[in-house]
Amino acid sequence: MTVALGIDTGGTYTDAVLVDHISGRVLAKAKALTSYHDLSIGIGQAVTEVLQCATVSVLPVDVGLVALSTTLATNAIVEGRGCSVCLLLIGYDPTLIRQYGFERDLVTQDVVYLRGGHDGAGNEVEPLDEAAAREAILARRDRVEAFAVSGYFGVRNPAHELRVRAMIEELTTPDGPSMPVTCGHELTTHLNAVRRATTAALNARLIPLLRELIATVRSTLEERGILAPLMIVKGDGSLVQAGWAMQRPVETILSGPAASVVGAWHLAGRRDVWTVDVGGTTTDIAALNDGRPKLNPEGAQVGEWRTMVQAVDVHTIGLGGDSHVRVDEKGQPLIGPRRVVPLCLLADRHPEIVDELRHALGARQPGDLDGQFVMRLRPPTHAVSEEDESLLRHLALSPQSLRSLADRLRYGSLVVYQLEQLEARRLVLRAGFTPTDALHVLGRFECWNTQAARLGAALLAAQAGLAPEALCERVVSGVSDRVTTALVSKVLSDEVTLPEWEREPAAAALLMRALGNVTGSDLGCELKLNKPLVAIGAPVEAYLPRVADQLRTELVIPTHADVANAVGAVAGSVVQQIEVTIRPLSGNQHVRLHLPEAVLDLPTVEEGVAYAERVVPGQLEALARQAGADQVQVRMARVDQNAPTKSGWNECVYLGTELTFTAVGRPSLARAARSA
Amino acid sequence: MADVLQEIASKLYAGEAAEVAELVQAALDGGMAPAQVLSGGLIAGMDQVGKDFKAGELFVPEVLIAARAMHAGMGILRPLLAQTGVPSAGKYIIGTVKGDLHDIGKNLVKMMVEGAGFEVIDLGTDVPPDKFVAAVKEHQPRLVGMSALLTTTMVNMKTTVEALQEAGVRGSVKVMVGGASVTDAFAKQIGADAYAPDAASAVDVARSLVA
């Protein structure tokens, strides 16, 4: 038997599944808490457990493939982590960059402008200033950890980027292996010199981080006797070999959401659906078109950066099972976006908090601070301030209630602001009432301490002037309403424009009527989603039926919906693409082929196409095999751009041809690798 | 007061440059605000010219003469408008693309959009893509208009759009194209925002793009 091991490190949980590689059947699944400071700890726990709990005996040697979807790149970008990078820009106009405020988009402060660059036809505008390049590289080779290179119109002619890459490799080798270099043209074929620079610089910055992750994951797997090839899920849902991902880490952004869409497709067997993945921290909404995740045509946006990475077009909201619930002055629950540890889970590990909750409920008029706890996540790696240290000392032994901390610390309730900063640094974690607690109270999902959940509900209900059960119902339906609203927003934003509900009261009123939250109105409104909904994550049974009702559509909750992301990690194919652009040269005497590594002039378009068809498939197949594919199939799509004009008899202007070569293969397995 | 404005508009329509200039000066001397003279007199007159040109009641030479009268009035108003800080409808960069020396269509559009209150920066004819980019960099306009008469030079409109994309500024300007052989389908294919079939429509298109 050959088994594939899928791993997903999510915002809250790390999931692991064992899947029969032939039948696609899920053999075992396990969950562990994601360990942010070292993802391999949570991964190790989940893998150990999944091997133990397999119903059929699975030995580590049976694992022929490991695939990992990871939030590492996404998180690192959002948090601004990564190594020091020097960005070399060839032929860019520094005044334009400054005037349009593009400096912010260049990721690093260390930017060197070099003379050189090309025009849109791929002709050299100015020779590359090699002397300046050499000087810049030599000055930095001991100061930075990676280089990024981007040339003006480098996607139309990469000659200058390739030359600078070669110089970096040559000049940084003396003391061992050369420094990592990322060129803009390797990551995209699209125009926009600024965004290519952003993407190349982000990629360079992530290389050491992903390298480290892969090394620790490999050793974690080896310790458990798993020696199979490791693959990483890219943001478009396809797989690449770990070694490849280390060169192009930026392509793994949105790896998790992409895996969840692929998992939804694999488990539900439906090709055209909307998928909703309710996690602990966030809910991701994405579309599956003809069995493939719909990609964002603009390129993936991560944090403040707009990249040129092809990734799943996912709409993420800060709402999940572990979202913090508070009540507003009208007694309406406010849910998220902060993620906390559910009270029921905290009490499961620390039963002593139940008494504290009971005490808070009896003591006085409950306020905002009640029903919240704080615990230490990990010892600080850097020096912390005196105040922070004193706070962390209070947390050394066990979780403390926010109320008792406010009473004991110097600045009282101001402790909340201090905590928020420590939370952002992932040194402490807060616990509080969550939708998961509400489900415990209502008896719809019970796996931890229901008593703590009840007490937490009672505290909030007292603030809202409601019965605890009524409050919990409002929380659960509130989650559903938010998901429905997000789905409607996403579809409208794709098809028309993103609605701003707060600023459009009439639209909001219609939406409220469609959600069924308005009584006594003479106007009714119904919305209908014209595609089925596939729900994954846990526990979607509690939230999604209402969403499907509100949108009058079919709801599919596949078996193993709780680990769909991890299943999606192993269900992906290896996909590689090469795009070739053909453009008429002025005077229309010849056409120019823009190939990945060079340009070539040929007399006619058909000769250009024939040349590409002769040369590219071989290159692409080799690329796909490098990326870890087996049984590779290459196909080509051709788009000719002929625009109609008004002159003569339906005369057309030939604008160019785009050839897209796509190689798709199955991930190669350990067995196959060994016999090869 | 309103009579003066109406007279300015009708003299402009008739192409009487000297009289337009005189009337504008008289209106200002009478205490009228420059912005009011511009919108109620000059732009109103030019709007009528545009409408009738579109309807086929006026022809190119008449439009050119009216535009000359408009310029005569603007010559007086422009320094005052700049002083009082009346906002223009936006900056508008215009040019005939590389390889193409035809300027009648481009000039018509220029006059019409100027008449509509845009601040036009004319790059002339045979303008290579990097000139467009340099002008965008310098002026940071809201609109870029490109003209081409020949089917052989229309392809350079695409090249120019690509140059704006590569510079990273494509998202901050709206691009409109026009010319005898240009079609709406062509405009879409090259990634322009809009196509205007004639100079009068160009004003409507420009206004809707910055609305």
CATH code of the domain covering residue B164: 3.40.50.280
Number of domains in chain B: 2
CA distance B169 to chain A (A): 8
Both B60 and B124 in one domain: the answer is no
Mean pLDDT of A659-674: 77
Is A585 an interface residue toward B (CB < 8 Å)? no
Would you give the distance in Å from CA A23 to the centre of its chain? 28
Residue of A84, A133, A134, A143 whose CA lies nearest to A113: A133
CA distance A254 to chain B (A): 24
Both B80 and B116 in one domain: the answer is no
Both B79 and B134 in one domain: the answer is no
Both B47 and B143 in one domain: the answer is no
Both B17 and B53 in one domain: the answer is yes
pLDDT of residue A672: 40
Both B110 and B131 in one domain: the answer is yes
pLDDT of residue A237: 93
DSSP assignment of A337-387: EEE-EEHHHHHHH-TTHHHHHHHHHHHSS--TTTT-EEEE-S--SS---HH
Look at B151 and A645 and tell me if their CB atoms are within 8 Å: yes
Both B139 and B192 in one domain: the answer is yes
pLDDT of residue B41: 87
Q: Are the beta carbons of A284 and A260 closer than 8 angstroms?
A: yes
Look at A100 and B130 and tell me if their CB atoms are within 8 Å: no
Boundary (domain end) residue, out of B84, B107, B129:
B84
How far apart are alpha carbons A210 and A250 in whole angstroms?
9
Provide, as residue numbers in chain A, all residues whose Cβ is less than 8 Å from the Cβ of B137. Answer: 93, 95-96, 99-100
Boundary (domain end) residue, out of B37, B55, B84:
B84
pLDDT of residue A675: 34
3-state secondary structure of A580: strand
Residue of A17, A91, A10, A9 whose CA lies nearest to A47: A17
How far apart are alpha carbons B211 and A67 in whole angstroms?
50
ipTM for the whole complex: 0.79
Boundary (domain end) residue, out of B84, B99, B126:
B84
B50 to A10, A470, B16, B43: CA distances (angstroms): 60, 65, 17, 10
What digits encode the pLDDT tens for the residues A633-644?
999 999 999 988
3-state secondary structure of A581: strand
Cα torsion A613, A615, A619, A621: sign: positive
Look at A100 and B185 and tell me if their CB atoms are within 8 Å: no
Supply the range of the domain harboring residue B104: 91-210
Provide, as residue numbers in chain B, all residues whose Cβ is less than 8 Å from the Cβ of A150. Answer: none
How far apart are alpha carbons B123 and B98 in whole angstroms?
11
> Which residue of A188, A605, A647 to mutate against B (max B Cβ within 10 Å)?
A647
CATH code of the domain covering residue B47: 1.10.1240.10
**Residue A504: partners with Cβ closer than 8 Å, 6 or more residues away:** none
What does DSSP assign to residue B37?
I
What digits encode the pLDDT tens for the residues A90-140?
999 999 999 899 999 999 999 999 999 999 999 999 999 999 999 999 999
- CA-based nearest residue in chain B for residue A647: B181
Confidence of residue A588 (pLDDT cuts 50, 70, 90): low
pLDDT of residue B105: 83
How confident is chain B (211 residues) per 10-residue block, as mean pLDDT?
A: 84 90 91 84 86 84 86 84 72 94 86 83 95 94 93 91 96 93 92 90 89 80
- Residue A454 token pair: 């009840």
Residue of A426, A537, A566, A436 whose CA lies nearest to A46: A566
Both B124 and B199 in one domain: the answer is yes
Helix (H) or strand (E) holding A39: helix A39-52
How far apart are alpha carbons A53 and A323 in whole angstroms?
29
> Which residue of B155, B164, B188, B198 to mutate against A (max A Cβ within 10 Å)?
B155
Both B163 and B203 in one domain: the answer is yes
Both B122 and B195 in one domain: the answer is yes
3-state secondary structure of B78: helix
pLDDT of residue A674: 36
Specify the higher pLDDT residue, A386 or A660: A660
Both B69 and B108 in one domain: the answer is no
Question: Of the candidates A153, A191, A586, which has its C-beta nearest B99's C-beta?
Answer: A586
Look at B186 and A653 and tell me if their CB atoms are within 8 Å: yes
Mean pLDDT of A261-281: 91
- Residue A197 token pair: 């620079």
pTM summary value: 0.84
- CA-based nearest residue in chain A for residue B153: A586
Question: Of the candidates B133, B166, B181, which has its C-beta nearest A192's C-beta?
Answer: B166
Provide, as residue numbers in chain A, all residues whose Cβ is less than 8 Å from the Cβ of B167. Answer: 93, 96, 193-194
Question: Of the candidates A191, A645, A654, which has its C-beta nearest B165's C-beta?
Answer: A191
E runs forming strands in B27-173: 91-96, 119-122, 143-147
Domain with CATH 3.40.50 in chain A: 82-210
How far apart are alpha carbons A400 and A300 in whole angstroms?
40
pLDDT of residue B51: 85
Both B76 and B141 in one domain: the answer is no
Provide, as residue numbers in chain B, all residues whose Cβ is less than 8 Å from the Cβ of A92. Answer: none
Indicate if the pLDDT at residue A435 is higher than 90. yes
Task: Say which CATH topology domain A82-210 has.
Answer: Rossmann fold (3.40.50)
Contacting A residues, span 417-446, partner chain B, CB-CB under 8 Å: none
- Residue A268 token pair: 């539900």
